[in-house]
Amino acid sequence: MTIRKLPESVINRIAAGEMVERPASAIKELVENSIDAGATRIDVVVRDGGRRLISVTDDGEGMSRDELELAVERHATSKLADDDLSMIDTLGFRGEALASIGSVSRLAISSRARGSDQAWAISVDGGTKKDITPAALSAGTRIEVRDIFYATPARLKFMKSPRTEMSHINDAIKRLALVNPKTGFSLSDGEREVIGLTPVHGDLHGSYLERIGAIMGRNFADNALAIDAQRDGIRLTGYVGLPTLSRGNAAMQFLFVNGRPVRDRLLYGALRGAYQDFLASDRYPLAVLFLEITPREVDVNVHPAKTEVRFRDQGIVRGTIVGAVRHALAEAGHRASTTVSTAALGAAQPSSRPYSTPGKGTVWGGAAEKAANNFHSPLPDLDAPPAAPSPGTDMAEIPGDYPLGVARAQLHETYIVAETEDGIVIVDQHAAHERLVHERIKDAINRGGVSRQGLLLPEVVELDEDAVNRLNERAGELKELGLTLEQFGHGAVLVREQPAILGETDIPGLVRDIADDLEEMDQALALKDRLSEVAALMACHSSVRAGRRLKPDEMNALLREMEETPHSGQCSHGRPTYVELKLADIEKLFGRR
């Protein structure tokens, strides 16, 4: 056996394996260097998905001859002046990106230090450093990477189509652009400009907004809620989308820690947790969130790619995110996204005439309507005969007083049509009712218990023996949630009481679903910790399904309740409970505008 020290070029290739996974990761490193160099313009050109050429040009502070010569060496950096890894305030610090990239490609750098009258160029070819030469460049730095991975054929094989690589590149630049609004960015594939972002001037807050709007699009701008929270030395700012604006993957979730784009499981998990009640598990909310925390509280030196972080106190970070996002969602009250009405209108269009997104007004300032956390009045009992008209639900009333309008009709025993000041609202009565019941149950449990209602005739629900045992073990907890049941022989349970809130309930359906749920769930978890899931199950089996005729009073009571209830704009699965069509848009349908 012979142990030997590996040559520098091999060491660099090994390091590159972790850091430079694909062209997009090289571009991320190069653009981060430009940002660290104080660039106000960064232009990226890519050919063949980055395989043939990557070029990054900036107008940053540049490098002198000596600096340039050092920059391509491994572990050479200008960013750790006092060797303190706990106070990193630059994107780079490991001093290995240029060395790694140079070891797997043909790298050429020209640069001119600010204030210098001469530019210099150096190149590295598959790890072999070439002589430094004078170059022509008026300012900043230009880096060209050709034939990436030519020196590591194994990695080359994993390159995807130019289109796929381009979309990763696009994503990497977008992430950095979101958090650096004062810098202009461009990305071109040699023929077409894929990204074109001019530097945004003005105050910091306003510039972030403008950049987010430019990258995330108008639709997000119209349907996002502002986040600004501070807690235990952590500041969280940014925007999150309404639940009805969700996606099938996390591609539109942009998370940053101290200005660094990260893909951190803790942060993704916290975001997921915040939306848990409002989105099906396979839907992802849109978000741009900036977390600022004292550098000492976070370790960014976890992986060469620097997209993972470790927080000293994970609980506080998670709590801050969940708390702030939930708060914003609660404030949004019954709002559902304008996308919903856009989609509805699109479907209703008689021709393919283009139309503009119905404006609900920008909500950048924060939650537009405030939902009172008011749960004191009883939920409209939609199975009881109509009571005497309650105040505030008179048919003659002016719709302008209510965001969701005054109910005018029920169609197909499923949809409530309401007139608002400047449009109409169509409510899916079942989805809306389900959501209201869900929130009611959660609230009641948080307040200390759900009131129970005895059944006139106890209901026997037949189940297999395992299911009976599972329910029996949890009988105490279920009782607190309003459901009183006991074992009834080996293959059945007897249900004596149900949550009063539910009204007429499909008890066998509910009990079976809970039994199924118990089988899947972590035995260590108390039912209360799975509250929203249990509440959703109960709500789902409660009475007002589609297909029940409602009196005007009942309809209006439902609308008023929705206005007051947080999260009532979408059902537990993230589907909207109502759509709103503005008169202006209806007029367009008829060609009146």
Q: Are 529 and 396 in contact (CB under 8 A)?
A: no
Q: Are 177 and 195 in contact (CB under 8 A)?
A: yes
585 binds ligand ADP (CB under 6 A): no
CA distance 256 to 307: 9
Q: Is 586 exposed, middle or buried (0-12, 13-18, 19+ CB in 10 A)?
A: middle
Q: What are phi and psi of 487, to 5 degrees?
A: -65, 145
336 binds ligand ADP (CB under 6 A): no
**Between residues 34 and 152, which has the closer beta carbon with respect to ligand ADP?**
34
**Between residues 37 and 407, which has the closer beta carbon with respect to ligand ADP?**
37
By CB under 6 A, how many residues form the interface with ligand ADP? Answer: 22
471 - beta bridge partners? none
23 binds ligand ADP (CB under 6 A): no
Q: Are 510 and 537 in contact (CB under 8 A)?
A: yes
**Length of the chain, in residues:** 593
97 binds ligand ADP (CB under 6 A): yes
- Find the part of the chain contacting Mg ion (CB under 5 A) among 25-33, 41-49, 128-136, 261-269: 25-33
Helices 429-446 and 552-564, axial angle in degrees (round to 10): 50
* Residues near 520 by beta carbon (within 8 Å), at least 6 away in sequence: none
**Between residues 122 and 245, which has the closer beta carbon with respect to ligand ADP?**
122
What stretch of H or E contains 461? Answer: strand 452-462
92 binds ligand ADP (CB under 6 A): yes
Q: Are 176 and 24 in contact (CB under 8 A)?
A: no
- Find the part of the chain contacting ligand ADP (CB under 6 A) among 75-83, 253-261, 351-359, 568-576: 75-83
* Residues near 162 by beta carbon (within 8 Å), at least 6 away in sequence: 48, 49, 50, 51
CB of 108 to ligand ADP, least distance (A): 13
304 binds Mg ion (CB under 5 A): no
Q: Please pick, from the candidates 13, 22, 94, 470, the single residue that binds ligand ADP as defined by CB under 6 A.
A: 94
CA atoms within a 13 Å half-sphere pointing along the CA-CB vector of 327: 14
**Between residues 107 and 483, which has the closer beta carbon with respect to ligand ADP?**
107
358 binds Mg ion (CB under 5 A): no
- Find the part of the chain contacting ligand ADP (CB under 6 A) among 56-64, 194-202, 359-367, 546-554: 56-64
- Find the part of the chain contacting ligand ADP (CB under 6 A) among 87-95, 538-546, 553-561, 581-589: 87-95
- Find the part of the chain contacting ligand ADP (CB under 6 A) among 54-62, 177-185, 248-256, 461-469: 54-62
Q: Is 558 exposed, middle or buried (0-12, 13-18, 19+ CB in 10 A)?
A: buried
3-state secondary structure of 27: helix
Q: Residue 289 binds what, of Mg ion, ligand ADP, none (CB under 5 to 8 Å, by partner type)?
A: none
What stretch of H or E contains 231? Answer: strand 224-231
- Tokens read off for 42: 């960064």
Q: Please pick, from the candidates 77, 123, 246, 556, the single residue that binds ligand ADP as defined by CB under 6 A.
A: 77
Q: Please pick, from the candidates 23, 50, 60, 285, the single residue that binds ligand ADP as defined by CB under 6 A.
A: 60
**Between residues 13 and 94, which has the closer beta carbon with respect to Mg ion?**
94
Site for ligand ADP in 140-199 (CB under 6 A): 141
257 binds ligand ADP (CB under 6 A): no
3-state secondary structure of 23: helix
> What are the helix (H) ranges across 276-386?
314-331, 338-348
Q: Please pick, from the candidates 97, 427, 481, 537, the single residue that binds Mg ion as defined by CB under 5 A.
A: 97
33 binds Mg ion (CB under 5 A): yes
Q: Please pick, from the candidates 15, 20, 24, 98, the single residue that binds ligand ADP as defined by CB under 6 A.
A: 98
- Find the part of the chain contacting Mg ion (CB under 5 A) among 84-92, 336-344, 553-561, 564-572: 84-92
- Find the part of the chain contacting ligand ADP (CB under 6 A) among 76-84, 125-133, 424-432, 584-592: 76-84
**Between residues 62 and 380, which has the closer beta carbon with respect to ligand ADP?**
62
78 binds ligand ADP (CB under 6 A): yes
- Find the part of the chain contacting ligand ADP (CB under 6 A) among 96-104, 121-129, 364-372, 580-588: 96-104
CA angle 276, 281, 287 (to 5 degrees): 65
CB of 260 to ligand ADP, least distance (A): 12
Cα–Cα separations (whole angstroms), residue 213 to 193, 206, 290, 304, 381: 19, 11, 15, 31, 43
**Between residues 93 and 256, which has the closer beta carbon with respect to ligand ADP?**
93
**Between residues 141 and 577, which has the closer beta carbon with respect to ligand ADP?**
141
CB of 53 to Mg ion, least distance (A): 20
**Residue 167 neighbours by CB distance under 10 Å:** 16
Site for Mg ion in 201-260 (CB under 5 A): none
What stretch of H or E contains 56? Answer: strand 53-58
**Between residues 16 and 562, which has the closer beta carbon with respect to Mg ion?**
16
Q: What are phi and psi of 246, to 5 degrees?
A: -80, 170
65 binds ligand ADP (CB under 6 A): no
> What are the helix (H) ranges across 47-130?
65-71, 97-104
Task: Give the binding site for Mg ion (CB under 5 A).
Answer: 33, 92, 97
Task: Give the binding site for ligand ADP (CB under 6 A).
Answer: 29, 33-34, 37, 58, 60-63, 71, 76-79, 92-98, 141
